Structure formats: C-alpha cells, structure tokens
A and B are shown apart, each in its own frame.
Chain A
Amino acid sequence: DTGVSQNPRHKITKRGQNVTFRCDPISEHNRLYWYRQTLGQGPEFLTYFQNEAQLEKSRLLSDRFSAERPKGSFSTLEIQRTEQGDSAMYLCASSPTGGAGEKLFFGSGTQLSVL
C-alpha cells in the first residue's frame, strides 16, 4: 500500500494555458474524489468516480474542468484556459468501496499557480 499518489506536486502555468493533473489511488479502491483547497479554507468537493463512472460534479465547477477515470484506476483532472482564480491545491482522495461513512485517504496534492 503506497498511498494515494498525485503528480505533479507543483505546477506553474500562464493564464490561458491548459493543465492536466494525475491521481493514482490506493490499489483496489473503487471510489475516487477530487477536491480543491485554497489557503485558509477546507477542501471543496469537485467531482467523484465510482470505478470508471463519474457520479457527480459540483455545480460550482466550470465547464473548463474535466475529469476522467478511463479504466477505473488512475484519474486525470484537466483545466482548460486556466485563470488566476484556478490557483489552488488540487487534492485527490480515494476510499475502498464508496460505502456510506468511509474515510478518505488523501494524496499530497498538486499545487497550481496561474500567473
């Protein structure tokens, strides 16, 4: 068990560029979540997957954001035409089955800075 892995750890990009982040959940974990965290705030839910199916997307999530989990293992989060307001820590978390009340295992996150 190597934990949840996220790459890259840091990403600096210019406004208007596209970025993609990757998350490798704990092996055999069926549920995968993406959260976003800004300084002084708690993690804010973005979207989640049960295996390869994307079950819910936050209403706050712009159409510039898209996430995939093609084979039910790793996931990618893409942000198109980045804006300065997208600067944040993007956290991935996984849980074994997605059952009610399961604890989340978080990765170390990808820190995005949009200049």
Chain B
Amino acid sequence: GQQVMQIPQYQHVQEGEDFTTYCNSSTTLSNIQWYKQRPGGHPVFLIQLVKSGEVKKQKRLTFQFGEAKKNSSLHITATQTTDVGTYFCAGNSGNTPLVFGKGTRLSVIA
C-alpha cells in the first residue's frame, strides 16, 4: 500500500534559524496536505498542494510539491518559538483516505 516517509524525524534549531522537512511518497499523489500538531494537541490543517511543481507561501512557511507529485517539502524561515510542534505531511491518490507520514518534530531554542 501507499507509504509516506518524512525526514528528519527530529530537528532542533536556534530561534531565527531556518527549518526544512521533506516528504516522499511511494506512489504518485493526487494532492498533499500539511498539518501541524502542537505538543498535547491534535493535527491542524496548514495547506494543500495539488499541482505538479506548485509552491505556496504562508508568511514564513513555504510549501513545495514535486514535479512528479511524489515528494514535498516545508520550509520555515527564521523560526520562532511559536513554530514548535510536529509537522506531518499526508497524501492520497484519488479519493482514498489520507496517509500520514511519521512527522518531523521541531524544537526551537530561544
């Protein structure tokens, strides 16, 4: 079945440094979504990418979808303590349920 892999598993950064997490799927995706889960919280939707090569920005966050629609990345510029949490990518093919990666846990040291 479809598998979604994320690296790194953990990332510790100093406040103000940049952060990137990468997501790879074993199959071509119809769309990819990104979620953020704060410590003790539940996943909250951030963004969806649908088109090959698509790039979307949300303030300091930049999301990319690969040309082959099998990989994606999330880049945070100048991290802040409010960025702490686990970032999950999730994808599906057609109308199948979303398959989540294991996430990248981000720690920001002030």
Interface residues of A, Cβ cutoff 8 Å to B: 33, 35, 40-45, 48, 56, 91, 98-101, 103-109
Contact = CB atoms under 8 A, between A and B. Distances in A.
A103 B32 CA distance: 10
Contact of B42 (A91, A98, A100): A91
A43 B86 CA distance: 12
Interface of A is mostly: loop
A103 B48 contact: yes
A103 B94 contact: no
Contact of A45 (B30, B94, B98): B98
Contacts of A42: 4, 6, 88, 90, 100-103
Interface in B42-57: 42-45, 48, 50
Interface in B16-72: 30-31, 33, 35, 41-45, 48, 50
B102 A40 contact: yes
Contact of B99 (A45, A99, A101, A103): A45
The CB with the most chain A CB atoms within 10 A, among B6, B35, B90, B97, is that of B97
Contacts of A100: 30-31, 92, 94-95
20 contacts: A33-B97, A40-B9, A40-B102, A40-B105, A41-B102, A42-B6, A42-B90, A44-B100, A56-B97, A91-B42, A91-B43, A100-B31, A100-B94, A103-B33, A104-B35, A104-B98, A106-B43, A106-B44, A107-B42, A108-B42
